[in-house]
Structure 1
Protein backbone atom coordinates (compact mmCIF):
# COMPACT_ATOMS: atom_id res chain seq x y z
CA UNK A 1 0.00 0.00 0.00
CA UNK A 2 2.83 2.41 0.87
CA UNK A 3 4.46 1.74 -2.50
CA UNK A 4 1.23 2.49 -4.37
CA UNK A 5 0.64 5.67 -2.34
CA UNK A 6 4.24 6.76 -2.97
CA UNK A 7 3.79 6.24 -6.72
CA UNK A 8 0.56 8.24 -6.73
CA UNK A 9 2.19 11.11 -4.82
CA UNK A 10 5.12 11.12 -7.24
CA UNK A 11 2.77 11.38 -10.24
CA UNK A 12 0.74 14.14 -8.57
CA UNK A 13 3.88 16.09 -7.64
CA UNK A 14 5.22 15.76 -11.19
CA UNK A 15 1.97 17.04 -12.63
CA UNK A 16 2.02 20.00 -10.28
CA UNK A 17 5.41 21.21 -11.51
CA UNK A 18 4.92 20.53 -15.21
CA UNK A 19 5.01 23.75 -17.25
CA UNK A 20 1.62 25.16 -18.14
CA UNK A 21 0.57 27.30 -21.09
CA UNK A 22 0.87 30.34 -18.83
CA UNK A 23 4.55 29.54 -18.35
CA UNK A 24 5.26 29.21 -22.05
CA UNK A 25 8.04 31.26 -23.59
CA UNK A 26 7.13 34.93 -24.06
CA UNK A 27 6.13 36.16 -27.51
CA UNK A 28 9.11 36.90 -29.73
CA UNK A 29 8.41 40.39 -31.05
CA UNK A 30 9.07 40.72 -34.78
CA UNK A 31 7.78 37.25 -35.60
CA UNK A 32 5.36 38.70 -38.15
CA UNK A 33 7.41 41.56 -39.58
CA UNK A 34 7.27 45.14 -38.34
CA UNK A 35 5.77 45.18 -34.87
CA UNK A 36 5.60 47.37 -31.79
CA UNK A 37 5.38 45.23 -28.67
CA UNK A 38 4.38 46.43 -25.22
CA UNK A 39 5.13 44.28 -22.18
CA UNK A 40 3.45 44.25 -18.80
CA UNK A 41 6.78 44.06 -16.95
CA UNK A 42 10.29 45.44 -17.32
CA UNK A 43 12.91 43.91 -19.59
CA UNK A 44 10.31 42.77 -22.15
CA UNK A 45 8.75 40.24 -19.79
CA UNK A 46 5.22 39.39 -18.79
CA UNK A 47 2.16 39.46 -20.96
CA UNK A 48 2.40 41.18 -24.36
CA UNK A 49 0.35 43.39 -26.64
CA UNK A 50 1.52 43.57 -30.26
CA UNK A 51 0.66 46.40 -32.65
CA UNK A 52 0.98 45.48 -36.33
CA UNK A 53 0.14 47.61 -39.32
CA UNK A 54 0.71 51.01 -37.69
CA UNK A 55 1.84 52.97 -40.73
CA UNK A 56 4.29 55.90 -40.64
CA UNK A 57 2.49 59.14 -39.84
CA UNK A 58 -0.35 57.40 -38.00
CA UNK A 59 -1.18 56.87 -34.35
CA UNK A 60 -2.87 54.57 -31.90
CA UNK A 61 -4.91 57.29 -30.24
CA UNK A 62 -5.91 55.49 -27.04
CA UNK A 63 -4.80 52.21 -25.44
CA UNK A 64 -8.06 51.73 -23.49
CA UNK A 65 -9.47 49.43 -26.19
CA UNK A 66 -6.48 47.06 -26.16
CA UNK A 67 -5.47 44.20 -23.88
CA UNK A 68 -2.46 41.99 -23.25
CA UNK A 69 -2.60 38.30 -24.06
CA UNK A 70 -3.65 37.68 -20.44
CA UNK A 71 -6.73 39.90 -20.86
CA UNK A 72 -5.49 42.78 -18.70
CA UNK A 73 -6.03 46.26 -20.16
CA UNK A 74 -2.99 47.84 -21.84
CA UNK A 75 -3.80 51.44 -20.87
CA UNK A 76 -1.57 52.76 -18.06
CA UNK A 77 0.01 49.36 -17.41
CA UNK A 78 3.02 48.88 -19.72
CA UNK A 79 6.52 48.68 -18.26
CA UNK A 80 8.60 48.12 -21.41
CA UNK A 81 8.40 48.37 -25.18
CA UNK A 82 10.35 47.23 -28.23
CA UNK A 83 10.09 49.04 -31.57
CA UNK A 84 10.69 46.67 -34.47
CA UNK A 85 9.63 49.08 -37.19
CA UNK A 86 11.79 51.17 -39.49
CA UNK A 87 10.62 54.45 -37.90
CA UNK A 88 10.89 56.22 -34.56
CA UNK A 89 7.79 55.82 -32.40
CA UNK A 90 6.69 58.20 -29.68
CA UNK A 91 4.84 56.74 -26.68
CA UNK A 92 2.65 59.21 -24.79
CA UNK A 93 1.33 59.40 -21.25
CA UNK A 94 -2.20 60.40 -22.31
CA UNK A 95 -4.48 59.57 -25.21
CA UNK A 96 -4.00 61.60 -28.38
CA UNK A 97 -7.39 63.27 -28.30
CA UNK A 98 -8.33 64.98 -31.56
CA UNK A 99 -5.19 63.39 -33.05
CA UNK A 100 -2.99 66.03 -31.44
CA UNK A 101 -0.13 65.93 -28.96
CA UNK A 102 -1.26 69.17 -27.29
CA UNK A 103 -2.41 67.37 -24.12
CA UNK A 104 -0.47 64.14 -24.46
CA UNK A 105 1.70 64.70 -21.36
CA UNK A 106 5.10 63.08 -20.98
CA UNK A 107 6.52 61.09 -23.85
CA UNK A 108 9.44 58.91 -24.85
CA UNK A 109 11.03 58.41 -28.27
CA UNK A 110 11.86 54.82 -29.18
CA UNK A 111 14.21 54.37 -32.14
CA UNK A 112 13.95 51.50 -34.63
CA UNK A 113 15.19 48.30 -32.99
CA UNK A 114 15.32 49.90 -29.54
CA UNK A 115 14.09 48.21 -26.38
CA UNK A 116 13.10 50.48 -23.53
CA UNK A 117 11.95 50.20 -19.92
CA UNK A 118 9.71 52.98 -18.68
CA UNK A 119 11.02 54.97 -15.71
CA UNK A 120 10.09 54.77 -12.04
CA UNK A 121 10.71 58.49 -11.63
CA UNK A 122 12.22 61.39 -13.54
CA UNK A 123 11.22 63.42 -16.56
CA UNK A 124 10.62 60.60 -19.05
CA UNK A 125 7.55 58.45 -19.51
CA UNK A 126 6.78 56.79 -16.20
CA UNK A 127 6.16 53.11 -15.63
CA UNK A 128 2.50 52.11 -15.99
CA UNK A 129 1.48 55.36 -17.70
CA UNK A 130 1.59 54.72 -21.49
CA UNK A 131 -1.72 55.57 -23.19
CA UNK A 132 -1.02 56.18 -26.89
CA UNK A 133 1.65 56.07 -29.59
CA UNK A 134 2.61 57.79 -32.81
CA UNK A 135 4.75 56.24 -35.56
CA UNK A 136 6.74 59.04 -37.14
CA UNK A 137 8.16 59.23 -40.65
CA UNK A 138 11.59 59.74 -39.11
CA UNK A 139 13.99 56.79 -39.23
CA UNK A 140 16.73 57.94 -36.84
Structure 2
Protein backbone atom coordinates (compact mmCIF):
# COMPACT_ATOMS: atom_id res chain seq x y z
CA UNK A 1 0.00 0.00 0.00
CA UNK A 2 1.48 3.34 -1.06
CA UNK A 3 -0.15 5.66 1.49
CA UNK A 4 -1.50 4.50 4.83
CA UNK A 5 -4.90 6.08 5.35
CA UNK A 6 -5.01 7.79 8.74
CA UNK A 7 -7.91 7.88 11.18
CA UNK A 8 -10.85 10.02 10.01
CA UNK A 9 -9.75 10.07 6.35
CA UNK A 10 -11.25 8.81 3.12
CA UNK A 11 -8.39 7.84 0.81
CA UNK A 12 -8.99 7.46 -2.92
CA UNK A 13 -6.25 5.53 -4.74
CA UNK A 14 -5.37 5.77 -8.41
CA UNK A 15 -4.73 2.03 -8.69
CA UNK A 16 -6.27 -1.17 -7.35
CA UNK A 17 -5.35 -2.74 -4.02
CA UNK A 18 -4.84 0.67 -2.39
CA UNK A 19 -1.75 1.52 -4.44
CA UNK A 20 -0.59 4.30 -6.69
CA UNK A 21 -1.08 7.96 -6.00
CA UNK A 22 -3.67 9.05 -3.43
CA UNK A 23 -6.27 11.80 -3.09
CA UNK A 24 -7.44 12.55 0.49
CA UNK A 25 -10.15 15.25 0.41
CA UNK A 26 -10.29 17.43 3.52
CA UNK A 27 -14.04 17.93 2.96
CA UNK A 28 -14.82 14.34 3.94
CA UNK A 29 -12.97 14.67 7.26
CA UNK A 30 -15.65 17.19 8.22
CA UNK A 31 -18.66 15.19 6.99
CA UNK A 32 -19.03 17.43 3.92
CA UNK A 33 -19.22 16.64 0.18
CA UNK A 34 -16.80 16.50 -2.73
CA UNK A 35 -19.10 17.70 -5.49
CA UNK A 36 -16.70 17.53 -8.44
CA UNK A 37 -13.63 15.30 -8.67
CA UNK A 38 -12.82 17.17 -11.90
CA UNK A 39 -11.22 19.94 -9.85
CA UNK A 40 -9.32 17.53 -7.56
CA UNK A 41 -5.91 15.96 -8.09
CA UNK A 42 -4.00 12.96 -6.83
CA UNK A 43 -0.68 13.71 -5.09
CA UNK A 44 1.12 12.98 -8.39
CA UNK A 45 -0.84 15.78 -10.11
CA UNK A 46 -3.17 13.55 -12.15
CA UNK A 47 -6.84 14.56 -12.22
CA UNK A 48 -8.98 12.46 -9.84
CA UNK A 49 -12.18 12.51 -11.93
CA UNK A 50 -13.03 9.04 -13.23
CA UNK A 51 -9.61 7.80 -12.09
CA UNK A 52 -10.18 6.07 -8.72
CA UNK A 53 -9.59 2.31 -8.55
CA UNK A 54 -9.76 1.71 -4.78
CA UNK A 55 -10.81 3.58 -1.64
CA UNK A 56 -10.44 3.28 2.14
CA UNK A 57 -12.86 4.96 4.55
CA UNK A 58 -11.54 5.34 8.12
CA UNK A 59 -14.36 7.63 9.26
CA UNK A 60 -17.36 6.66 11.33
CA UNK A 61 -19.90 7.33 8.57
CA UNK A 62 -20.94 5.93 5.21
CA UNK A 63 -20.31 7.55 1.83
CA UNK A 64 -22.37 7.47 -1.35
CA UNK A 65 -20.57 7.48 -4.71
CA UNK A 66 -21.81 9.09 -7.93
CA UNK A 67 -20.46 8.85 -11.46
CA UNK A 68 -21.42 12.44 -12.31
CA UNK A 69 -20.44 15.72 -10.60
CA UNK A 70 -22.75 17.29 -8.01
CA UNK A 71 -24.03 13.98 -6.66
CA UNK A 72 -25.77 12.89 -9.86
CA UNK A 73 -26.31 9.24 -10.81
CA UNK A 74 -25.89 7.26 -7.58
CA UNK A 75 -23.61 4.23 -7.94
CA UNK A 76 -23.09 2.74 -4.48
CA UNK A 77 -22.33 3.14 -0.78
CA UNK A 78 -19.16 2.43 1.19
CA UNK A 79 -19.66 1.66 4.86
CA UNK A 80 -17.95 3.24 7.84
CA UNK A 81 -14.42 1.95 8.45
CA UNK A 82 -14.47 -0.04 5.22
CA UNK A 83 -12.58 -0.28 1.96
CA UNK A 84 -13.30 -1.26 -1.62
CA UNK A 85 -11.19 -2.40 -4.52
CA UNK A 86 -12.93 -1.38 -7.74
CA UNK A 87 -11.02 -3.80 -9.96
CA UNK A 88 -12.83 -7.14 -10.07
CA UNK A 89 -15.43 -8.52 -7.67
CA UNK A 90 -18.62 -6.66 -6.74
CA UNK A 91 -17.23 -3.12 -7.20
CA UNK A 92 -15.87 -3.48 -10.76
CA UNK A 93 -18.56 -1.20 -12.20
CA UNK A 94 -17.08 1.71 -10.19
CA UNK A 95 -13.51 1.44 -11.49
CA UNK A 96 -12.49 4.82 -12.91
CA UNK A 97 -16.07 6.15 -12.65
CA UNK A 98 -16.36 8.21 -9.45
CA UNK A 99 -17.02 11.93 -10.00
CA UNK A 100 -18.54 13.00 -6.66
CA UNK A 101 -19.13 11.67 -3.15
CA UNK A 102 -21.11 12.63 -0.06
CA UNK A 103 -21.87 11.26 3.41
CA UNK A 104 -25.10 9.27 3.41
CA UNK A 105 -27.29 7.49 5.93
Does the pair score TM above 0.5? yes
Distance 1:124 1:105, change over 3 A: farther
TM-score for the superposition, normalised by structure 2: 0.85
Gaps of 5+ in 2: none
Q: Which has the larger radius of gyration?
A: 1
Q: How many residues align?
A: 104
Whether 2:101 is the aligned partner of 1:127: answer no
Higher relative contact order (CA 8 A, sep 6+): 2
Matching residue of 2:20: 46
RMSD over aligned Cα atoms? 2.3
Kindly provide the CA deviation profile for residues 107-138 of structure 1, in whole angstroms up to 9, marking residues without a partner as x. 121111111022569887421010000013x3
- Runs of at least 5 residues in structure 1 that lack an aligned partner in the other structure: 1-24
Higher strand share: 2
TM (norm. structure 1) is 0.66
Task: Call closer, same or farther: CA 1:87–1:95 in 2, change over 3 Å.
Answer: same
